[in-house]
Amino acid sequence: MSEAALAGEKSTAAPERSLAKRLAIAVIAIVAATLIIKGFVADVYLVESGSMEPTIFGGKERGERVVVRYQTGPALERYDLVVIKRNGVPVPAVKRVVGLPGESIQIRSGDIYVNGRLLALEHSAAPWIDLFDSTRQGLMQAFQFESGSDAWDQAGNEWQIGSQSKASPVVEEGESWRLLYRRGLDDGYITPDGSEVVGSLPVGDGRIDVDLVLQSTVGELMLELGEAADVFQARLRFLGEECKASLWRASRLKDAGPSIEILELGSAQIPVGEKLQISFSNRDNLLLFKVSAADEMLLNLIARYDANQVPPGKTLVAGASIGPQVQLSGTNLNARLQRLRVRRDLHYVGVGEHGVVRPLSLGPDQLFVLGDNSIHSADGRVWGATPTSEVMGLPVAVVWPLEQARWLSGNEPE
């Protein structure tokens, strides 16, 4: 498929995706498209633009080929991927639906406001963009120890934290280690070969995902996300068979009064020796802290806040943060770290006029569409509303190059 020409990144296989899986995706999608193409139901297109990276990588010579199913199904939903063919424009384009018929849409500080409000839970359908993944990149290339580096030992693709033989019967006060993410959150992403594309704009909303195998029933783990003058903390305190969980908000402003606020408390039974999937996210003023094991939700804490704190008399750049944005710390924790990911929210640049300078009101048959690679995308900010009649179809899968084959639907849940 063609679009305004923007160079794409050369892509190679993601290590964790098996060749068999990629081959199956490609074969199924190509065969299906070939069998039904005579009925004008689907086709395969080359993506030449980089406006949807990292969702779809583009380039005239290196662009990905996607199967597009012509739109014949139910009404579109927010954050669906669509292929549009604008009147008077010779080539179609892939974009993401962010505004639905009848809504008022505006971009403010990188976020989407619908009818004047942030819709945090509804926006959970939006994808998270990887900035770091320890299964594809070196941990120490992205993180640095502020303290306690001797508590960590690399064991193949995993990291051993602490020693089971040194486990204390109680959790002692004081921090044994602290790990800081060097880069901070920006509008960059990871290419399929694991290379970093460093962004040029700060992003406020982020997420930490940790896959951890607990090896003792004592210890403490804390995940931190910073935005503006706030730092949000998700804490797990292991005390025998029970785990105490909490969400905190702290201020990095001087003379701000009480600097620490407990937002939510909870508890759970956390198994030892099983992989725990821990996630902590801050998106659209909504904090989510979840722990699961073997596809079973063990803990789910939710907290909202009205707005971020900012230094008095100063204006921060949209998405900027005072101090580190991503940190992990632990006390007497004995565990195996199997995977660590840092991700960021979609971040939309306030360029153009439509839905930027003022809200854009959509008619009963109009959409507002944007590109994921916002700084390099020509989209609804430039031309305004998109008639639903200009939607050709929905991208279903990337089928070429083979090592990059993947489905394009089904975002990971919050």
Catalytic residue among 2, 21, 49, 51: 51
| Both structure tokens of 158 | 């995993």
Q: How far apart are CA 138 and CA 348, in angstroms?
A: 29
Q: How far apart are CA 162 and CA 140, in angstroms?
A: 17
51 catalytic? Reply is yes
Match 């998106």 to its residue by tokens: 283
C-alpha closest to that of 113 among 289, 320, 368? 368
60 catalytic? Reply is no
Burial annotation 322-356 (CB, 10 A radius, 16+ → b, else e): bebbbbbbbbbbbbbbbbbbbbbbbbbbeebebbb
**In what helix (H) or strand (E) does residue 140 lie, and over which residues does it extend?**
helix 139-142
Residue 283: what residue type?
A: R
Q: How far apart are CA 141 and CA 139, in angstroms?
A: 5
Catalytic residue among 49, 60, 85, 95: 95
Q: How far apart are CA 108 and CA 281, in angstroms?
A: 20
17: left (phi over 0), alpha (psi -120 to 50) or beta: beta
Task: Find how far residue 88's CA is from the centre of its chain.
Answer: 35
Match 């880069």 to its residue by tokens: 183
Q: Give the Cα-Cα-Cα angle 100, 106, 108 (nearest 5 degrees).
A: 140
Residue 311: Cβ within 10 Å count? 14
Instruction: Specify the 3-state DSSP secondary structure of 366.
Output: strand
Residue pair 105/112 in contact by the 8 Å Cβ criterion: yes
Catalytic residues: 51, 95
